[in-house]
Structure 1
Amino acid sequence: MLKDHRSRTDQRQQKKPDGFFPRLGHILGQIWHYIKRRLSFPDVTLKETATTKEAIIYYFDISISVIRSLLLHLLAFGLVVGALGLGLGLGYFASLISHDNIPSYTTMKNEINSGYEASNLYFANNVRLGSMRTNLVSESVSINQISPNLTKAITSTEDQYFYQHKGIVPKSVFRALLSSLTGIGAATGGSTLTQQLVKMQILNSETTFKRKATEILLALRVDKYFSKTEILQAYLNAATFGRNNKGQNVAGVQQAAEGLFGVPASQVNLAQAAFIAGLPQSPSVYTPYTNTGRLKKNITYGLERKDTVLFRMYRDNKISYHAYQAAKKYDLTKDFLPRAKNSQQSIKYGYVYNLLTSQAETIIKKQLYQADGLSAKKVNKDGALSEQYDQQAEQLLANRGYHIYSTINKPIYNAMQQVVKQQGSTLGQTYYDTTTDANGNTVKVKEPVQNGSVLLNNKTGAILGFIGGRNYSSSQLNHAFDTMRSPGSSIKPLAVYAPAIERKLIGSETKLADFKVNFNGYKPTDYGSTIQNRFINAREALKESYNIPAINLYNQVRKQGSVKPYLEKMGITTLTSNDYKNLGLALGGTDYGLTVADEASAYSTLSNNGNHTDSYVINKITDANGKVIYQHKAKTTKVYSAATAYITSNMMHSVVTSGTASQIPSQTLFDTTNLVGKTGTSNDNRDSWFVGSTPTVTLATWTGYDNYNGSSYNLTDSSSEITNQFWSNLANAVYTADSKVMGTTKTRKKPSGVTTASVVKATGQLPGSLTVSGSSVSASGTLVKSYYNGWQPTTTKEKFGIGGTAANYATFWKNYLSGNNADGALYGGEVTSSTSSTTSTE
């Protein structure tokens, strides 16, 4: 068998053709045999006696058959892939719009015919504030009031096949999609007039795939239910046409004709109509006017665009050649109106107006990018994209007739404004100075003391009233929401005492050391560069706002972990990593500071059983038809246990009764039995605070100078008393406007998690015996009640407090044994002053 096999091989080798053509035929034959095996062609052979010519003809026929078969297979494959692609595309299209609600005929009719209307602002309880300012003018007219010159010009320019298509032109959509995917070709939108109408009146101009898919669906639906005349009329009333001679933005052909040429839309001539029709493609480029209403020095682009429109009208046989030439030569420049004065509407309640419009734009912006499947992180990272959504939100609010309902109680807001108007000058001196403006001219500047205040509901987070500044006409800066200032000692309950109580480090009578300290060069002192030189219980340290005890306690708190989670859960997110690294945070030392709204919101946690509800100003937003498009949903986060909130509040009540705010009860018109609060003063009296809470509301107030133009003005040493007085006046005004809002009759109930113990006043621990320096000591004497977050203290130890050195404790026990501090009055020495102070805040 092996021999026969070799014989056959030899025979095949002997039959290899000689010469170029025979060899070519042999190679083609080999290729053919390979292809036929792959494509299952019938086994056809060539006679061995065939001539070279016959072989070439044979293999040429075979090659043609092979190519034809390959083309048929490729065509079949292409059809399969195309069908698959079409199926996937349709599936993707369906998935994009699967969750969209298809609007009814009535809804679409209202939307496509809705005019441009400024949004409306409301105080709480549906009390109207006014309309948003808008620089856009529009007027809707019937198609019978629009010149045929305009309708012909618009359709020839914007949608040549308007009267033939069913809402979309498939090839244009495909071309635009292909261009978007590949980046090849001009950036044409592929949008019909119907699609443009849908974008303007129902959707917005963002061109994501989802929005494009929805646009196509709605365009088909609009074309189905409305006549071409109705669609064209809606478009001509909705499209934007640049600016008029007052610098106002214009929507609709009626205002365009009147604002450019001083004639109604029914009377424009052919050249004027062509110019107007050319504007929607790029209104800012083609408009002849600036934002001040002045005629541009160069209006060539608009005039060239007008000629393009005229040519397209001639191309579509809508005008004759003679009319085309005449309109092209027409001197349109003589028809443009001269500049006219734009009378701006005045803004009422400026601080409220700015706050509501700003927050409403933020809400709408978020809805827009979320609808496009984008995250806040991605949008904020891309400045251009973020600005695009800002503009879309601003445009929707300015022109869609939304209704924005706020939480601001008008009577309370008015009462607060009356207080700052009457008593603002008592907060501090007004300074006058000179500076150099941008042009190098010397100008006089005025620097009044400023105030920011916020009143909010502890449980709901609703902001009921605020003070943005002393005079809106002089300064539009909102000092309640937009300025960040050092909180001073007002941060102590939030960042030091509450975390310490939560982590079971202290009770209300736990001792804290107040002796000279040096933390790697950081040498804080108490207010006025003093040092108490004694052990002080936590309640007293807080009510008198001593700094060194707070630093010692914060140093201990940090050993169990950062306080950042607590503060961020309370809505304080502006502190930096550097802030949390430094012990100075315990005294309000921050890189940037906090806003008054931040402080008020954070403090509400302690009067809401340790739960923080995010503050808010806008309750809901509805569209022009009353449909709710945004409804505030309360977000409540557990920050501290109810026990911690109760104990911290109980200690802060001492601030009001006998501490740094003890003057307040005598100045208020209401019962302060359930009032808690904390004062705060930053270095050199640059900032002065008081934040007070009842079980129902929190009222925070700040006073200081903006210090623009490089100035450095500070408050006086009596600023804390002045701020307390101002807070009392504000609270009285609120109470007078609506006594129920303050909630002064509600009590704070002690939670079951709070435990108490009678501790030795001198040590803050339980009575007991101990050995100190070889001597037996009985820790006893006056006992006081101390509150704890679910735990009990031990019997008195030699080192019983937080902070302090061995020498400090040795001095304490020496005095204790000698009877000098058996009642707990003096624990180590007299108050001293320090000249090396680096931080001295209250």
Structure 2
Amino acid sequence: MIRFLFRWIVRLLFLAGFAVFGYLVYFYFEIAHEVEPLVHYNPPKTTQIFDRNGKLLANVFEKEHRLYVPYKEIPGRVIEALVAIEDTLFYEHHGVNPEAIFRAIIKDIKARKMVEGASTLTQQLIKSTLLTRKKKIERKIKEALLAIRLEQLLSKEEILERYLNAVFFGHGYYGIRTAAYGYFRKDLDELTLKEIAVLVGLPKAPSAYDPTRHYANAMARANRVLNRMKALGWIDEETYLREIKEAPKVYDDTLTKNRAPYIVDAVMNMLQKEYPDIRRGGYKIETAIDLEYQQMAKSALNYGYDAYLKRHQNDDTNTSVFNGAMVVLDGRSGDILAMVGGVDYKKSAFNRAVSSRRQVGSAFKPFIYQTALELGYNPESKVADIARTYRFESGDTKKLWQPKNYEKDYKGMITLREALIHSRNLATINLVSEIGIMTLHKKLSPLGVKNLPYNLSIALGNIALSPLQVARLYTVFADMGRLHEPRLVTNIYDNNSRLIKHYNAKVKKIYSESQAYLMVDILRDIVKRGTGRNARVKGMDVAGKTGTTNKSVDTWFCSFTPDVEAVVWFGNDNNTPLARRETGGRTAAPVVRYFYQKLIQIHPEFKRKFKEPEGVYHVMQNGKDLIYTDKSPLPKEDQIIENEEIIF
């Protein structure tokens, strides 16, 4: 009887074992395809934006911050440390470790619950990417089967590469390179052995071992890694004793490390249409920005902002809507070195440097005067700074326009130089009237300014442009007649560091150097003794033009030195007037001075004086050094214009 029962029990066990085996085989083939995401592994990767000197401006990502590292760039010590603490027999098993499983089962039976896992690195990879972390029998079986399948399809090196890029290292860091940069600000090949031990010890319990929150726990875990490596004979006693004493410096950085948010937004807006995966494709974007300039520009803009608030702290002025923007270009290339879209990104992410359209006022006058020079006028040619009445029709209504100077006075006949130096409205209007609207438009068309008014209001800068657009226009003076398209992005690389696009600088010659220099000389005088006096920098040539619109709604200062161009705008976001007596010369010009002073402190090698081109001639007349060119000779006689009423 006993023998009979024993036979049936053996048969039943055999049948049960065969059934389990059959089920596992069936289950294996049912789920085998689920490893495909790991076989063709392409996780979301962080795009990084750099300045012109290779300094990180920001990390940009959607959900997971991951800086991918291929296996060939992973140091051997990282692999050794990982295998030592997580899966010593990694190179010997085929996805699962039977010995470890048996050991874990015994412990689980004794504890009457699942207290220890026996996961290999391959199983951990499966668990962290394809499965849940809940300790259920069915999940563990699936995990083991998928690990076996993955080992059939991938090499050990490929599995390690995926593991070290996929797993979570705490603090929002996915992948070991991300964690290395995040915690230690180092790439993998720069890490010490103790820092490596900290990192490979993290995946077991990322929150508990996060060194920014639980430093002691992290170091204790790292020391266990080092101890395991010593026990295996992979490091010697001397190395072990030296490394356990090390206390690495840990950084608690933000994930994005965004040091120039207005720049980053502008880059993303520029590229996201052409590269829909820009936030997850792991691109490397090189910009023309110089982070040093960016920080100086931000500091300069805040200086002007604080000065305005201080001037009006005791009056009824609403300063809550007051804001500004600043653009700095390389005057010889058009590269955008700095761009600050507001005084506080946290309060307002709206980029006024790019997206706002504000009246430019008198800042547009130099282009009108340059047109006159192109037509043969000379800086010493005279124009009437007198009052005139203009009659025009608006629908069925006849109206009069009687423009005035800001100072509400008249100078009579004055030179073009003096008219622009003191930003005389009436002189400019009369000059436009002399030139003719159609001629002026024809001469200005190469500048590419859209929506220029077809009436005399063009003389007062009745044109809405962004600070970046204004900066673009002023490159024609900063580079002696050559108009540059501002360049923000220079190169884009894919995740394998292959160059996929280079953005060429775009330039177009508008004026000859000698003709442009006539205007540069006038604009330099504006800073020396005109409306731009608050932008003077000792020992350095600064040229520029103020801009103040009606009722001081917008205030500008557009400037350049022999090397660098800077444009500043201030105004209220709701288009209401600024406080009384605020002008481009008072509100914006000091910002330029502050910026250039900081710049030459850091870069004393910069050019201090404008270089006069060939074709510019000098003559002394009445004790004055006058300049002229073949196209713009000195006037032979005064121009006389009487008061009159003009109808248009």
* TM-score of the two chains, using structure 2 as the length reference: 0.60
The partner residue of 2:580 within 710, 716, 719 is 716
Question: Match of 2:482?
Answer: 611
1:699 Cα deviation after fit: 0.9
1:480 Cα deviation after fit: 1.6
1:188-587 equivalences in 2 (<5 Å): 345=255, 348-349=258-259, 350-361=261-272, 365=274, 393-394=275-276, 396-428=277-309, 429=312, 447-494=320-367, 496-504=368-376, 506-520=377-391, 521-528=400-407, 530-558=408-436, 561-563=439-441, 566=444, 568-569=446-447, 573=449, 575-576=450-451, 579-587=452-460
Deviations 1:45-81 (A, max 9, x none): xxxxxxxxxxxxxxxxxxxxxxxxxxxxxxxxxxxxx
Question: Match of 2:462?
Answer: 589
Amino acid at match of 2:373: I
| Cα pair distance change 1:564/1:807, threshold 3 Å | closer
In structure 1, how many angstroms separate the alpha carbons of the residues matched to 2:524 and 2:556? 16
1:111 Cα deviation after fit: 12
Question: Match of 2:527?
Answer: 656
1:447–1:706 CA contact under 8 A, matched in 2: no
Secondary structure class of the residue paired with 1:586? helix
In structure 2, how many angstroms separate the alpha carbons of the residues matched to 1:568 and 1:111? 56
1:660-809 equivalences in 2 (<5 Å): 660-665=531-536, 668=537, 670-672=538-540, 674-707=541-574, 712-719=576-583, 720-740=585-605, 743-752=606-615, 754-755=616-617, 785-792=626-633, 795-796=636-637, 800-801=639-640, 804-805=642-643
In structure 1, how many angstroms separate the alpha carbons of the residues matched to 2:476 and 2:67? 50
In structure 1, how many angstroms separate the alpha carbons of the residues matched to 2:546 and 2:383? 20
1:716 Cα deviation after fit: 2.7
In structure 2, how many angstroms separate the alpha carbons of the residues matched to 1:139 and 1:700? 37
2:527–2:543 CA contact under 8 A, matched in 1: yes
1:507–1:789 CA contact under 8 A, matched in 2: no
1:257–1:265 CA contact under 8 A, matched in 2: no
In structure 2, how many angstroms separate the alpha carbons of the residues matched to 1:735 and 1:500? 34
1:416–1:733 CA contact under 8 A, matched in 2: no
In structure 2, how many angstroms separate the alpha carbons of the residues matched to 1:793 and 1:446? 48
In structure 1, how many angstroms separate the alpha carbons of the residues matched to 2:141 and 2:517? 75
Question: Match of 1:226?
Answer: none
1:646 Cα deviation after fit: 0.5
In structure 2, how many angstroms separate the alpha carbons of the residues matched to 1:568 and 1:255? 59
Deviations 1:585-639 (A, max 9, x none): 121112xx11111122211211212011211111100001111111121111011
The partner residue of 2:51 within 118, 123, 137 is 123
1:257–1:264 CA contact under 8 A, matched in 2: no
| Cα pair distance change 1:692/1:255, threshold 3 Å | same
1:795 Cα deviation after fit: 3.9
1:136 Cα deviation after fit: 5.9
Amino acid at match of 1:586: A
Secondary structure class of the residue paired with 2:626? strand
Deviations 1:465-493 (A, max 9, x none): 12221111001011222211111101100
1:156-175 equivalences in 2 (<5 Å): none
Aligned residues with identical type, % of pairs:
20
1:688 Cα deviation after fit: 1.1
| Cα pair distance change 1:716/1:446, threshold 3 Å | closer
1:430 Cα deviation after fit: 7.7
Ranked by relative contact order (alpha carbons within 8 Å, sequence separation 6 or more), the top structure is: 2
In structure 2, how many angstroms separate the alpha carbons of the residues matched to 1:432 and 1:581? 40
1:409 Cα deviation after fit: 1.0
| Cα pair distance change 1:262/1:460, threshold 3 Å | farther
In structure 2, how many angstroms separate the alpha carbons of the residues matched to 1:804 and 1:253? 90
In structure 1, how many angstroms separate the alpha carbons of the residues matched to 2:548 and 2:567? 14
In structure 2, how many angstroms separate the alpha carbons of the residues matched to 1:651 and 1:600? 18
| Cα pair distance change 1:449/1:115, threshold 3 Å | same
1:453–1:700 CA contact under 8 A, matched in 2: yes
Amino acid at match of 1:726: V
2:548–2:555 CA contact under 8 A, matched in 1: yes
Deviations 1:224-277 (A, max 9, x none): xxxxxxxxxxxxxxxxxxxxxxxxxxxx9977855899999966989xx9xxxx
| Cα pair distance change 1:461/1:698, threshold 3 Å | same
In structure 2, how many angstroms separate the alpha carbons of the residues matched to 1:542 and 1:120? 45
Q: Which runs of 5+ in 1 are unaligned?
A: 1-108, 141-251, 274-343, 366-392, 434-444, 762-781, 809-842
1:686 Cα deviation after fit: 1.0
Deviations 1:299-344 (A, max 9, x none): xxxxxxxxxxxxxxxxxxxxxxxxxxxxxxxxxxxxxxxxxxxxx9
Secondary structure class of the residue paired with 1:447? coil
In structure 2, how many angstroms separate the alpha carbons of the residues matched to 1:732 and 1:488? 27
1:686–1:715 CA contact under 8 A, matched in 2: no
Aligned residue pairs, count:
433
- Looking at CA atoms only, which structure, 1 or 2, has the larger radius of gyration? 1
1:818-829 equivalences in 2 (<5 Å): none
Amino acid at match of 2:299: Q
Amino acid at match of 1:671: G
Cα RMSD between the aligned structures?
Answer: 3.8
In structure 2, how many angstroms separate the alpha carbons of the residues matched to 1:629 and 1:723? 40
1:706 Cα deviation after fit: 0.3
The partner residue of 2:60 within 132, 136, 139 is 132
Secondary structure class of the residue paired with 2:468? helix
Secondary structure class of the residue paired with 1:531? coil
In structure 1, how many angstroms separate the alpha carbons of the residues matched to 2:625 and 2:610? 23
Secondary structure class of the residue paired with 2:539? coil
Question: Match of 2:173?
Answer: none
In structure 2, how many angstroms separate the alpha carbons of the residues matched to 1:545 and 1:786? 20
Deviations 1:191-236 (A, max 9, x none): xxxxxxxxxxxxxxxxxxxxxxxxxxxxxxxxxxxxxxxxxxxxxx
Amino acid at match of 1:685: S
Deviations 1:451-478 (A, max 9, x none): 1111111111111112221111001011
| Cα pair distance change 1:733/1:605, threshold 3 Å | same
In structure 2, how many angstroms separate the alpha carbons of the residues matched to 1:736 and 1:409? 16
1:452–1:469 CA contact under 8 A, matched in 2: yes
Secondary structure class of the residue paired with 1:732? helix
1:405–1:621 CA contact under 8 A, matched in 2: yes
1:431–1:446 CA contact under 8 A, matched in 2: no
1:620–1:630 CA contact under 8 A, matched in 2: yes
Secondary structure class of the residue paired with 1:399? coil
Amino acid at match of 1:691: C
Amino acid at match of 1:118: T
Secondary structure class of the residue paired with 2:325? strand
| Cα pair distance change 1:261/1:524, threshold 3 Å | farther
In structure 2, how many angstroms separate the alpha carbons of the residues matched to 1:470 and 1:806? 47
Secondary structure class of the residue paired with 2:43? coil
